[in-house]
Amino acid sequence: MVSPTYYALSTLTTAHLLFLQVTAEHKESSSNSKRKCFQCNMPYECNLGLCYGDYCIKSLASDQYVSKGCENKTFRLVNGESYPQENSEFIEKPYCTTEYMFGIQNTICYCNDVDFCNRSQKIEARVIMISLFLFLMVFNFIF
């Protein structure tokens, strides 16, 4: 039979390791200047794309989604969800245009970083799950 002290220590050790993993991932994601590109008049979000610059170019070619990449238009990198007020003059308005490339009509959308989000919902979900897990373990240990 496992003693309650051993059970509590193993639970706390597991929770501590999970917390360290989450905080390490959060530090890694917040230390980079990469930004996740969200949709700009497109059929779905660019969940796998990362942007370094101010706008992301996305297009539709024959109902197929294509990412054209990002272009940096600022003088400095900013971490966070949006730009400070002093950088607002460098932000262009998002818009879409239609062009023909290689004989195929493309709808290209230019999306500003104001439309991007640098938060990770995965990290927030993990913190909630770890908190719930810890609560249940402590509750189970006490009762």
Q: Where are the domains of the chain?
A: 4-142
**Is pLDDT at 141 greater than 60 in this prediction?**
yes
Q: What is the pLDDT of residues 51-108, one digit of tens each?
A: 444 455 666 666 666 665 555 554 333 344 443 444 444 455 556 667 776 677 666 6
pLDDT at 80 (0 to 100): 43
CB burial readout 3-41, b (16+ within 10 A) else e = eeeeeeeebeeebeebeeebeeebeebeeeeebbbbebe
Phi and psi at residue 90, to the nearest 5°: -95, -5
Tell me what the pLDDT averaged over the chain comes to.
53
Q: How far is CA 102 from the centre of its chain?
A: 33
Contact 36, 54 (CB under 8 A): no
What pLDDT, on a 0 to 100 scale, did the predictor assign at position 29?
A: 40
pTM of the predicted model as reported, rounded to 2 decimal places? 0.25
Q: What's residue 127's pLDDT?
A: 72
* 11 phi/psi in degrees, rounded to 5: -65, -45
Share of the chain above pLDDT 70, in %: 14
User: What is the pLDDT at residue 16?
Assistant: 47
Look at residue 85 in the predicted model and tell me its pLDDT: 40
Whether 131 has a pLDDT exceeding 80, the answer reads yes
Give the Å distances, CA to CA, from 96 to 45, 50, 92, 115, 135.
Answer: 16, 20, 12, 14, 49
**Would the pLDDT of 32 be above 50?**
no
